[in-house]
Amino acid sequence: MQLGLVGLGKMGFNMRERLREGGHEVIGFDPRPEVTDVPTLGALAEALTAPRVVWVMVPSGPVTHDTIVALAEELSEGDLVIDGGNSRYTEDGPHAKLLADKGIGFIDAGVSGGIWGLTEGYGLMVGGSDADIARAMPIFDALRPPGDVADGFVHSGPVGAGHFVKMVHNGIEYALMTAYAEGYEILAAEELVKDPQAVYQAWTNGTVVRSWLQQLLAKALKEDPGLDDITGYTEDSGEGRWTVEEAIRLRVPVPGIAASLFARFLSRQDDSPTMKAVAALRNQFGGHAVQRISKSG
């Protein structure tokens, strides 16, 4: 099958390679001349045989929106656009309508797998019509992990469902990573435990907490046992926030996911105003000692 792929970053570049290895013809466009196959979006559209399928794999937000608007001008009735980025699901309806007004189909696809997807395959969560999903299924089959389709691919529902599911997936990911990280800190703080990395390595088989994320932490600790080469500053790309916001809207309690999101915010504070206030309160009501900031000069 022939596919146009817009965005050849860390994910898109590897997806192009996996699809080509799967026997598909992929024509990629990226602003960077060293990786692109064609110079412009217009050239991409011209290089594809109608009816065309174009996968958009660019950062969520304005870049995705501008790309879809531009594609609406370049593509024709009967073509299909797949948004494989981490767009917020509420953006999918307007994008689908924008394209539908010109007779162009739309699929929203949540993609998980990171830099390992090239060799391991990508977990796919898609939203759209049955007809559009069936049309793009050869592409999804090449990208997903080998084995049973249901173990790496889900047609989550109509447009918007794919990105909604991916949002929740990433919210769960936040909480899992925080739990593994907190466990590591406890192990590292206890003198009885001589090698926290060996513990995480041992947990990779036979335990109820084993997972790919747990294995990756074991790998990270092996490469940098004290994690001395990195800081604790942790970004959030949006999905965790959106998951908490949607949970509030739906009145669903998500204390674990919410706490993991706030932990990321806390990681960016060199000296937390909240903890300063807690220390001050403890001093006021109980006379507990506080650590004063020394003033030189």
Catalytic residues: 166, 173
Tokens of 74: 């370049």
For residue 110, what are the contacts with CB-CB under 8 A and spacing of at least 6?
84, 86, 124, 125, 126, 156, 162, 163, 165, 166, 167, 169
DSSP state of 229: T
Separation CA 1–CA 246 (nearest Å): 37
CB-based contact 52:4 (threshold 8 Å): yes
Amino acid letter, 59: P
In degrees and rounded to multiples of 5, residue 153 shows phi and psi of -145, 140
In degrees and rounded to multiples of 5, residue 209 shows phi and psi of -100, 5
Interior angle at CA 63, CA 268 and CA 47, nearest 5: 140
Separation CA 31–CA 35 (nearest Å): 8
State CA 85 to chain mean position distance: 8
- E strand or H helix that includes residue 127: strand 123-127
